[in-house]
Amino acid sequence: MKRLVLIIVLLFCFGPSFVAAQNPFLDQGKDNTETERSEEGFSPPSFLQKIPQFIVIWQKKLRAMMTTFGRDIQDQPFGSSFWLFLLLSFVYGVIHATGPGHGKTVVASYFMNRPGTVRDGILMAYLIAFFQVASAVVIILSIYMVMKTVSMSSFEEASPILYQISYSLLCLVGLYLFFRTVYELVSGKHTNSTGSNDPGKKGGGFITALAAGIIPCPGAAIIFSFTIIIGILGTGLLSMVFVALGMGLTISVASVVTIVSRRAMFHVTERNPKIFVVVYSVFSFAGSLLLISISSMMLLYYLR
Amino acid sequence: MKKTFFALLAVLFLFIQANIALCHPHIFIDAELLFVFDDRGLAGVKERWVFDEMFSQSLLVDFDSDNDGKLNKDDVSRLRDIFYENTKEYNYFNIITIDGRKFPIERLNNFTVSIEDNRIVYEFFVSCPVRVEPNKKKRVKVLLFDETIYTHLLIEDYKVDMKKKPDAFSVDMKYEMLDEVETPLGSLVPDSVVIIFRKK
């Protein structure tokens, strides 16, 4: 029991921090200048430096190319630009999702805590990607139908409530996983399984994916609204499928790596019950605490 | 036992990595800097920000009130006010240091917005007076940076304007790169511009 408490305390000490962002050039009807910052350093915070610069630059290049192809599609709806636009949408999805966010932390923390197969991991990753893109599409289309225009300001105004719902649900999922882990460890039900006998596995994964996915992807929203502005709505809708397919691929990497690592570690240590319980605790508590801490910090930020 | 130790380390590492922000660039800006000198030294920096076309079109939908493809005086005022309100606490995305000390920007001057090739362009002047003492070098570093990472700003070009006092100062300028962005894949991007100057 002492060991369990020590693991939880240690994981809390190394807990995550966050920076939230909103569009600084649009009026969201909310003061977005509240992010806590250090006044001491003059260099960019270290998290920026961890983002490979080429990912940012490639996104920029892709967006520029998509803009050009989008304009070509206006003249030639089914020319080569149409297919290139869809292809680049897929690539954009892959690269865009390599940046922070987009559910990688959620799938990783979920599968650190819960057992699963590679198929489960891919399914959950694609669910999150499709939910995030669908959420953006639904908001933009709703704005378009009501206002007859695609206002990104309205999109920004609609987003915070979805963030609040999402992070509330994710926090609840994290708490459920935390207490379930405590129950499993106390009652000795911690085993190395793929969870195939777990009746709540599919439902839990679906709820978690839905909770994470209702946050609309602003990257998808900007591309989709652009296609409406230049009058290629059909291509825009199709391109969103490709963006989601690309994003799902990247998120799948995070979930599959987590699932395979967890299974390998459990397999290596399951013969020694003392070590196994420590490994099981670290994986499970790290997963649930990660979900709780990230979602509660984000929730507090959006409730302010 | 070793494997277990490394695995636990890996989990902790994953856990700590989660502090990377839950956000990433959605707006891309190409910036140009013009360091303007007067007879005392550096007067300030004139900045020109060109937004990516995709986001520019969204901005136009929101701010071109009469849908004529142009921005009138009121549209520009709204854009300026929102930009000021949202970025003032972030020093208008300018991290300027003078001899290593951070320079807080009170306000921007001569703010204008225009449209060029379907792209929105912000232009403004950052008053940042640096008086040059005889035989003393001054070092000013300008980094354009949105710490929420929603916006990515790239300094595409930088120049010096010394029309008011030609040949009064000797100036060295260079990009300064962050070591951390050096990757095997290349694509090194200058992150800041450093200008070192002294009286001739």
Q: B136 to chain A nearest CA, in Å?
A: 23
Q: Say if B9 is an interface residue toward chain A (CB within 8 Å).
A: no
Residue A265 and residue B59: Cβ atoms within 8 Å? Answer: no
Residue B181 and residue A50: Cα distance in Å, rounded?
8
- Asked if A132 contacts A219 with a C-beta cutoff of 8 angstroms, the reply is no
Identity (one letter) of the amino acid at A189? Answer: K
User: What is chain A's mean pLDDT, rounded?
Assistant: 83
What local confidence, expressed as pLDDT, does residue A140 receive? 95
Angle at A297 between CA A250 and CA A133, to 5 degrees: 35
Range of the domain at A188: 49-303
Best mean pLDDT range from A22-36, A65-79, B176-190: A65-79
- Asked if A173 contacts A291 with a C-beta cutoff of 8 angstroms, the reply is yes
Give contacts of B147 with chain A, Cβ < 8 Å. 19, 35, 37, 44-45, 48
pLDDT beyond 70 at B187 = no
- Asked if B43 contacts B36 with a C-beta cutoff of 8 angstroms, the reply is yes
User: What is chain B's mean pLDDT, rounded?
Assistant: 82
Residue A26 and residue B8: Cβ atoms within 8 Å? Answer: no
Residue A96 and residue B151: Cβ atoms within 8 Å? Answer: no
Residue A18 and residue B27: Cβ atoms within 8 Å? Answer: no
Q: Say if A263 is an interface residue toward chain B (CB within 8 Å).
A: no
Q: B39 to chain A nearest CA, in Å?
A: 29
Q: Is residue A143 part of a domain?
A: yes
Q: B118 to chain A nearest CA, in Å?
A: 11
Sketch the domain layout of chain B as residue ranges. 22-199
Of B16, B26, B52, the CB nearest to A14: B16
Q: In this prediction, what percent of chain A has a pLDDT beyond 70?
A: 80
Give contacts of A275 with chain B, Cβ < 8 Å. 1, 4
pLDDT beyond 90 at B35 = yes
Counting runs of H as helices and runs of E as strands, what totals does chain A give?
11, 0
pLDDT beyond 70 at A199 = no
Identity (one letter) of the amino acid at A36? Answer: E
Length of chain A: 304
What local confidence, expressed as pLDDT, does residue A271 receive? 85
**What are the pLDDT digits (tens) for A124-163?**
999 999 999 999 999 999 999 998 888 888 898 888 899 9
Q: In this prediction, what percent of chain A has a pLDDT beyond 90?
A: 45
Chosen from B86, B88, B118 to mutate, greatest number of chain A CBs within 10 A: B86
Q: A158 to chain B nearest CA, in Å?
A: 15
Of A57, A101, A269, the CB nearest to B189: A57
What local confidence, expressed as pLDDT, does residue A273 receive? 85
Give the neighbor-by-neighbor strand order of the sheet with B94-98. Answer: B101-102, B94-98, B138-144, B192-199, B169-176
What local confidence, expressed as pLDDT, does residue B200 receive? 79
Best mean pLDDT range from A82-96, A264-278, B175-189: A82-96
What local confidence, expressed as pLDDT, does residue A14 receive? 52
Residue A215 and residue A213: Cα distance in Å, rounded?
5
- Asked if B52 contacts B119 with a C-beta cutoff of 8 angstroms, the reply is yes
pLDDT bin (cut points 50, 70, 90) of residue A78 is confident
A1-24 mean pLDDT: 58
Residue A217 and residue A250: Cα distance in Å, rounded?
15
pLDDT bin (cut points 50, 70, 90) of residue A44 is very low
Q: Token pair of B38, please?
A: 């007067």
Residue B79 and residue B113: Cα distance in Å, rounded?
8
Residue B152 and residue A289: Cα distance in Å, rounded?
31
B111: left (phi over 0), alpha (psi -120 to 50) or beta: beta
pLDDT beyond 60 at A209 = yes
- Asked if A213 contacts A136 with a C-beta cutoff of 8 angstroms, the reply is no
Q: Is residue A25 part of a domain?
A: no
pLDDT bin (cut points 50, 70, 90) of residue B109 is very high
**What are the pLDDT digits (tens) for B76-103?**
999 999 999 999 988 999 989 999 888 9
- Asked if B145 contacts B95 with a C-beta cutoff of 8 angstroms, the reply is yes
Q: B199 to chain A nearest CA, in Å?
A: 27
Each residue of A133-164: b (16+ CB within 10 Å) or e?
bbbbbebbbebbeeeeebbbbbbbbbbbeebe
What local confidence, expressed as pLDDT, does residue B178 receive? 57
Q: Say if B66 is an interface residue toward chain A (CB within 8 Å).
A: no
Helix (H) or strand (E) holding A266: helix A233-269
Q: Say if B91 is an interface residue toward chain A (CB within 8 Å).
A: no
- Which residues pair with residue B194 across a beta bridge? B141, B174
Between residues A200 and A260, the one the model is more confident about: A260
What local confidence, expressed as pLDDT, does residue A240 receive? 98
Between residues A30 and A269, the one the model is more confident about: A269
SS3 for A254? Answer: helix
What local confidence, expressed as pLDDT, does residue A167 receive? 92
Residue A20 and residue B23: Cβ atoms within 8 Å? Answer: yes
- Asked if A73 contacts A235 with a C-beta cutoff of 8 angstroms, the reply is yes
Q: Is residue A17 part of a domain?
A: no
| Strand B151-161 relative to strand B27-37, pairing | parallel
Identity (one letter) of the amino acid at A149? Answer: T
Total structural domains within chain A: 1
Which residues of chain B from 128 to 157 reach within 8 Å of chain A, CB to CB? 143, 145-152, 154
Q: Say if A64 is an interface residue toward chain B (CB within 8 Å).
A: yes
| Strand B138-144 relative to strand B101-102, pairing | unpaired
pLDDT bin (cut points 50, 70, 90) of residue B67 is confident
What local confidence, expressed as pLDDT, does residue A62 receive? 94
Angle at A164 between CA A160 and CA A170, to 5 degrees: 140
Residue B24 and residue A229: Cβ atoms within 8 Å? Answer: no
Residue A89 and residue A102: Cα distance in Å, rounded?
16
pLDDT beyond 70 at A40 = no
Residue with token string 């003249």: A75
Q: How many CB pairs under 8 A join A and B?
A: 211
Among the ranges given (A9-18, A22-31, A138-147, B24-33), the one the predictor scored with the smallest mean pLDDT: A9-18
Best mean pLDDT range from A31-35, A59-63, B180-184: A59-63
What local confidence, expressed as pLDDT, does residue B73 receive? 93
B122-126 mean pLDDT: 97
Which residues of chain A from 154 to 213 reach within 8 Å of chain B, CB to CB? none
B20-45 mean pLDDT: 84
pLDDT bin (cut points 50, 70, 90) of residue A43 is very low
Identity (one letter) of the amino acid at A272? Answer: N
pLDDT beyond 50 at B116 = yes
Angle at A60 between CA B52 and CA B152, to 5 degrees: 75
Residue A81 and residue A87: Cα distance in Å, rounded?
10
Residue A42 and residue B83: Cβ atoms within 8 Å? Answer: no
